[in-house]
Amino acid sequence: MALQVRAIVASKWLLDAVKDQRVGPKLRVLDTSWYLPKLRRNAKSEFKKRHIPGAAFFDIDQCCDKTSPLDHMLPSERIFADYVGNLGIGNDTHVVVYDASNFGAFSAPRVWWMFRVFGHSSVSVLNGGLKNWANEGLPVSDRYSRPEQTEFRASLNRSWVKTYQDILDNLDSKEFQVVDARPGGRFRGVDPEPRDNTEPGHIPGSISMPFSSFLSASGHLHPREDLQTMFTQAGVDLSLPLCVSCGSGVTACHVALAAHECGHPGVSVYDGAWSEWYTRAVPEHVISVGFGKHSPVFE
Exposure string of 127-143, with b = 16+ CB inside 10 Å and e = fewer, is bbbbbbbbeeebeeeee
Continuous H helices in the chain: 11-19, 43-49, 77-85, 108-117, 129-135, 164-173, 184-188, 224-234, 252-261, 273-280
The answer to whether residues 292 and 208 touch, using CB atoms and an 8 Å cutoff, is no
Dihedrals φ, ψ of 181, to 5°? -95, 5
Continuous H helices in 118-238: 129-135, 164-173, 184-188, 224-234
The DSSP output letter for 142 is -
The answer to whether residues 274 and 182 touch, using CB atoms and an 8 Å cutoff, is yes
- Helix, strand or coil, per DSSP, at residue 216: coil
For residues 75 and 214, what is the distance between their CA atoms, to the nearest angstrom? 27
Dihedrals φ, ψ of 215, to 5°? -115, 145
The closest of 90, 287, 19, 39 to 178, measured between CA atoms, is 287
Please indicate whether residue 262 is annotated as part of the active site. no
The DSSP output letter for 145 is -
- Helix, strand or coil, per DSSP, at residue 57: strand
The single residue of 63, 64, 246, 262 carrying the catalytic annotation is: 246
The closest of 122, 124, 120 to 32, measured between CA atoms, is 124
> Which residues does the annotation mark as catalytic?
246
